[in-house]
Amino acid sequence: MFTYTANPARVVFGSGTLAVVPDELQRLGASRVLLVAGKSAAEAADRTADALGPLLAARFGEPTMHTPVEVTERALALVVEHSVDCVVAIGGGSATGLAKALALRTDIPQVIVPTTYAGSEMTPVVGQTENGRKTTQSSPKVLPEVVVYDVDLTLGLPVPTSLASGVNAMAHAVEALYSAEANPIVDQLALAAIRLLAAALPRIAADPSDADARTDALRAAWLAGSCLGSVGMGLHHKLCHTLGGSFGLPHAETHTIVLPHAMAYNAPNAREAMRRIAEALGAPDAPTAVFDLLASLPVPRSLAEIGLAEGDLAKAAELATAAPYPNPRELTRDGIEELLRHAWSGTRPVPAEGTPPDLRRLTQEVVDSFAGTPDPRLRELLSELVRTLHSYVVRTDLTQEEWEYAIGFLTRTGQISSDTRQEFILLSDTLGVSSVVDVLTNSRTPDTTPSAVLGPFYVEGPPETEQGADLAEGLPGTPLWTDVQVTEPDGTPVPDAVVDVWQSNEDGFYDVQLPDLDGPVLRARFRTDAEGRLRFWTIVPSAYPIPDDGPVGQMLTAVERHPFRAPHVHFMIAKPGYRTLVTQLFVRGGDYLDSDTVFGVKDGLIVDFAERTGPAPDGREPWRRLEFTFRVTRA
C-alpha cells in the first residue's frame, strides 16, 4: 500500500512557449497582472510586458534569493496598490519563491515561467527567510495554477548557473527515493530525472547552445520538482536551507556541494535507494558517482569556495539538528558536523565497504579504441557490446573462476560445431537471442505471415523437387498432404517462388543427424505454380529434442529446462523483389507449444493438421491435410 499525491497544475512545455502567457492569463480570467522578474530574466520580462499590454498592472524587479520577508512585503504593497489579480513570475527559484509567498498571503493565481532547473514551480512548498532563519511550509495555495516551460529561455542561462541549478533538481529526485513517503510512482519520476540530468549536464557544459540537452534538463527539472511536491525531503534539503538562510550561501551552489556528502551520510540506511541511483548512473556507488559527475563539471566543489567559514561548521550542525525531521539515518550533531566538514573541504566520499571498483573509465577506454572504425555500424555494434558485457560483469560481480568457466563453455561450443551441427545457433536459440533478432528483423509488417527462427539444421541448396512428390519416401509416420499458397498481403498470387521445406523424421532427427542416410530426406526445394500454390506429401511432424549431448545440453540440464521443440515443419520462401520469409508451421494441439525450448512458437503459426477419414487419393490411411496461405511482401 502507498499514497501518492499528484499536485494539480497546467503545464505548457516546448520551444517559444513564452508567447502563450497572455492566452493562459485569459484562460484564468486575469485582468490586472503583477510581473515578477529579476535582472537575469529582464529581456524575457520585457517581451512579456509588451505582449500583456493593458493586462499589465505593475512590475517588480527585485526578487531575492531565499525569499526574505521584507522583500515579499514590498511586492505585496504593489499587489494591494494596483488591485492585482494574478502574478506572472519569470526566472529562477527567487522569482518563483516570491510569487508563492504572495500567493500564501493572498491566494492569488500564479503563472510561473522557469528559466532555471530549480523545480520549485511544481511544488506546494514555499521557503521564507526572516531574522536570518529560513523556514518552509506547505500549502495548496502556493501551488502555481500554470507552469510554462520554454526551452529557449534556458539557452542563455550561464553554464555555472545551469549546472548548479540542475544539481539542485537532481537533489530533489535523490531525496525522494529515500523519503519516508516514497512510493513506486514518484520513484520512477525520480530515477528518470536522475538519468536525464546525468546525461544532460555534461552536454550543457560542453555546448551551452545544445537545445536537446537543455530540453532534457528542463524535463528532468519538471520531474524532479514533481517529486519534491509529492513527498517529503530529508537531511540534504534541511542542510541547504540552514546554510542558505543562516549563512547567506547561494542556494543552487550549496545544493551542488552538499548533495554527495548528504548521500554518503544516509547511504548505510538507504541501501536500496542508493543501489537504484547507482544503477541509473551506471556506477557501483551512488554518492561517489554523483561526486565524480560534479567534479567533471565547472561547479564549486567545497563550501569554503562559496564563503562558509570553517568556524561556522559547528553552528551549522547545531542549527540543522535543532528540530527533528524524517531522515533515513539518525541525525547527530557530531555526525552532521563531520558531514559538513567533508563538504567544506570538498573531499571525495568514501565508497561503502564492499563496493566494487568503478570501472567506467576502463569501459570508456575500450569504447574509445573503436573511434577510428571506418564502418559506423561496426563501431556502434562493438561499442554497445563492450558496454553491455562490462555492465554484466560488474552487475553480477563475476568471479575469475566463473569467467574461466564461461570461456571454456564457449570453447567447447565451438569445438563441437561442424557443417552439420551448429552448436552456437543452438545456444542462441535456447537463450532466446535468435527469436529476438527474428522479431526485430522480420516482424515489422503485421499484414504478412509471422517469421520464425531458421534453426541449426537448414542446409543450403536442397534438391529441386517436382510438386506432388513425397518427401518421406516410405519413412514411418502419419502421411500429410500439404496444400499451401503464397500470396501478397492483398491476396495476389506469387508464382515461381522458391520454397525450401525441411523437417525431422518421426523419431525427431533431421537427415544431417543420421550419417547412414544416403542423400537428403524430408528436405526439398519447390517452386510455386502460376496460382502461387504448392502441393506435396510428407509426414506429420512430431516433437523432438534438440541435440543435448554438448554444452547447450549441459546448460539446459543445469537450469532444469527440457530440450524439446514443439512439432513443426520449416518453410523458407524467396523470390527476387520480395522479402524472404523464414518460418515454421506448428501442429495445433502438439506438445510443448507453450514451452518450446527455442522460444520459436507464435500464435499465427499454430495451424490445423486436420485428420481425414477414409483413404487418401492415393489410398493411404489414416492421413492428415495441411492448408495454409503464406503472405509475403515486396522488398
Q: Examine the domain organization and report whether 462 and 392 are in the same domain.
A: no
What gap in Å lies between CA 149 and CA 20, rounded to an integer? 10
SS3 455: coil
Last residue of a domain, one of 372, 398, 424: 398
The three grid cell numbers given for residue 437, joined into one nine-digit string: 533478432
Q: Examine the domain organization and report whether 604 and 492 are in the same domain.
A: yes
Rg over alpha carbons for the chain, rounded to the nearest Å, is 34
In a domain, 599, yes or no: yes
The rounded mean pLDDT for the chain is 92
Single-letter amino acid code for the residue at 610: A
Q: What is the 3-state secondary structure (H, E, C) of 331-351?
A: CCHHHHHHHHHHHHHCCCCCC
First vs last Cα of the chain: how many Å apart?
52
In a domain, 145, yes or no: no
Q: Residue 37's pLDDT is what?
A: 95
Q: Is 421 a catalytic residue?
A: no
Burial level of 322, CB count in 10 A (0-12/13-18/19+)? exposed
In a domain, 232, yes or no: no
Q: Examine the domain organization and report whether 386 and 533 are in the same domain.
A: no
What gap in Å lies between CA 303 and CA 290, rounded to an integer? 16
Q: Which of 427, 439, 486 is nearest to 600 (CA)?
A: 439
Q: Which of 341, 342, 340, 320 is nearest to 331 (CA)?
A: 320
Q: Examine the domain organization and report whether 492 and 570 are in the same domain.
A: yes
Q: Examine the domain organization and report whether 586 and 468 are in the same domain.
A: yes
Residue range 352-369: mean pLDDT, rounded: 88
Total domains in the chain come to 2
Q: Is 510 a catalytic residue?
A: yes
Q: Residue 244's pLDDT is what?
A: 87
Residue range 290-304: mean pLDDT, rounded: 95
In a domain, 284, yes or no: no
In a domain, 240, yes or no: no
Q: Examine the domain organization and report whether 580 and 519 are in the same domain.
A: yes
Phi, psi angles (nearest 5°) of residue 149:
-95, 120
Q: Examine the domain organization and report whether 382 and 446 are in the same domain.
A: no
Cα 376 to chain center, whole Å? 24
In a domain, 185, yes or no: no
CATH code of residue 504: 2.60.130.10
Q: Examine the domain organization and report whether 592 and 452 are in the same domain.
A: yes
Last residue of a domain, one of 342, 375, 398: 398
Q: Which of 276, 565, 624, 631 is catalytic?
A: 565
Q: Which of 117, 178, 510, 592 is catalytic?
A: 510
In a domain, 455, yes or no: yes
Q: Which of 117, 149, 265, 544 is catalytic?
A: 544
Asked if the model's pLDDT at residue 465 lies above 90, the reply is yes
Last residue of a domain, one of 341, 375, 398: 398
pLDDT tens for each residue of 162-185: 999 999 999 999 999 999 889 999
Q: Which of 251, 255, 390, 568 is catalytic?
A: 568
Q: Residue 135's pLDDT is what?
A: 83
Q: Residue 421's pLDDT is what?
A: 85
Q: Is 578 a catalytic residue?
A: no
pLDDT tens for each residue of 34-74: 999 999 899 999 999 999 999 999 999 999 988 999 999 99
pLDDT tens for each residue of 128-171: 988 878 788 888 899 999 999 999 999 989 999 999 999 999 99
pLDDT tens for each residue of 584-599: 999 999 999 999 999 9
Q: Is 255 a catalytic residue?
A: no
In a domain, 622, yes or no: yes
Q: Is 565 a catalytic residue?
A: yes
Q: Examine the domain organization and report whether 369 and 496 are in the same domain.
A: no
Q: Examine the domain organization and report whether 484 and 372 are in the same domain.
A: no
What is the domain extent for residue 562?
433-631
SS3 371: coil
Question: CA separation (Å) from 174 to 186, 187, 433?
Answer: 11, 9, 35
Q: Examine the domain organization and report whether 387 and 462 are in the same domain.
A: no
Sequence-distant (≥ 6) Cβ neighbours of residue 173 within 8 angstroms = 189, 190, 191, 193, 194, 197, 220, 223, 224, 227
Sequence-distant (≥ 6) Cβ neighbours of residue 383 within 8 angstroms = 367, 370
Q: Which helix (H) or strand (E) is 294 found in, with range?
A: helix 286-295
User: Any idea what the Cα angle at residue 101 is, between residues 100 and 105, rounded to 5°?
Assistant: 110
CA pseudo-torsion sign 105, 109, 112, 118? positive
Q: Examine the domain organization and report whether 394 and 440 are in the same domain.
A: no
Q: Residue 432's pLDDT is what?
A: 93
> Is the overall model pTM greater than 0.95, yes or no?
no
Sequence-distant (≥ 6) Cβ neighbours of residue 32 within 8 angstroms = 55, 57, 82, 83, 84, 85, 86
Q: Which of 390, 570, 624, 631 is catalytic?
A: 570
Contact between residue 265 and residue 330 where contact means Cβ atoms under 8 Å apart: no
